[in-house]
Structure 1
């Protein structure tokens, strides 16, 4: 296993072919963005893993740079509050991604992600992403655009929740 994923040391690599990984991608929201041929190309830069419930996928503050696409299972996302207690901030379900921010900006992880059930992940390391950029810049740009769209959607959702929270607590009129 690539050392970039040491948090996933208990993960079982799945010996899948490019076509099997492309078929996994084709069952996600990525299928609405990428053609099957593009999914096959992307699949060549991804590794498949099976993880057990309770496995830490991403650790807040860690500098490991990889993107995860959840194929099967559920993941809880936790963020430390000002008292350093883990607070559940999101549930991630099959077809959703984790780790885009660190892959894009190279900054430490902003939250911890823990498998709430047994799960299957497709993972792209920063090295593999860089290889994609070098090999197929147009596809890499399309992937960047897709990740930017996902992050934009999440920011909009968080902004709406923050506005509701501030309104409910009397901070906003």
Structure 2
């Protein structure tokens, strides 16, 4: 397990020496600010081991992201050079088919970008039925709601095929806010816009299925 964590993870950020300015911790502390017990969080490192994720070949993930986002009507406003800067903040991994990468009603502090493959998005209803909300395509973003608002996961996301994904954790988002603030703010604004549009679509779908 230690070997897998070392393969998928990055070196931890060293503690800030006394007297020096504190780095941004807005995203990584947001769950605590909401009163969420840290032991309830499901970080990517733990989920990666659980679902058998494997590290993607160096350089492949960011090239896929650049290609996909260049064709996205919202994300294309991030220039390829700025997307290249994101490589140091994202984890890139391959996940086998049939793995629940995000679970409904859990606290998770990471989001992911689907680079290749397909992922189903389902919501379990109070009476037990699973309602299919969507089947994602490469370039789609999942899990950003919990990253932005520190809330419970709204739906379950399961790989339909072997999938390549790019994962951004709350800690990495804070690192980005410090190291590349312009790019980070641009990314957050785009995530908020895409999330708003998706929520409108989900609301319409739920209304049709009442």
Number of residue pairs aligned between Structure 1 and Structure 2: 164
Aligned residue in 1 for 2:91: 47
Aligned residue in 1 for 2:105: 61
Aligned residue in 2 for 1:8: 48
Choose the corresponding residue for 2:137, options 81, 89, 93: 93
Instruction: Give ranges in structure 2 of 5+ residues lacking alignment.
Output: 10-41
Aligned residue in 1 for 2:12: none
Q: SS of 1:113's equivalent?
A: strand
Residues 1-31 of structure 1: CA distance to partner in whole angstroms, max 9, x if unpaired? 34822223211112413xx333111121356
Choose the corresponding residue for 1:129, options 154, 169, 173: 173
Q: SS of 1:28's equivalent?
A: helix
Aligned residue in 1 for 2:149: 105
Instruction: Give ranges in structure 1 of 5+ residues lacking alignment.
Output: none
Q: How far 1:75 sits from its partner (Å)?
A: 0.3
Aligned residue in 2 for 1:21: 61
Counting strand residues as a fraction of each chain, which structure ranks higher?
Answer: 1
Residues 18-68 of structure 1: CA distance to partner in whole angstroms, max 9, x if unpaired? xx3331111213561211110111121111110111011101122121110
Choose the corresponding residue for 1:147, options 175, 191, 201: 191
1:8/1:56 contact within 8 Å kept: no
Could you tell me the TM-score, scaled by structure 2's length? 0.72
Q: How far 1:162 sits from its partner (Å)?
A: 4.8
1:22/1:36 contact within 8 Å kept: no
1:8/1:55 contact within 8 Å kept: no
Runs of 4+ in structure 1 over 6 Å off: none
2:133/2:205 contact within 8 Å kept: no
Could you tell me the TM-score, scaled by structure 1's length? 0.86
Q: CA RMSD in A?
A: 1.9
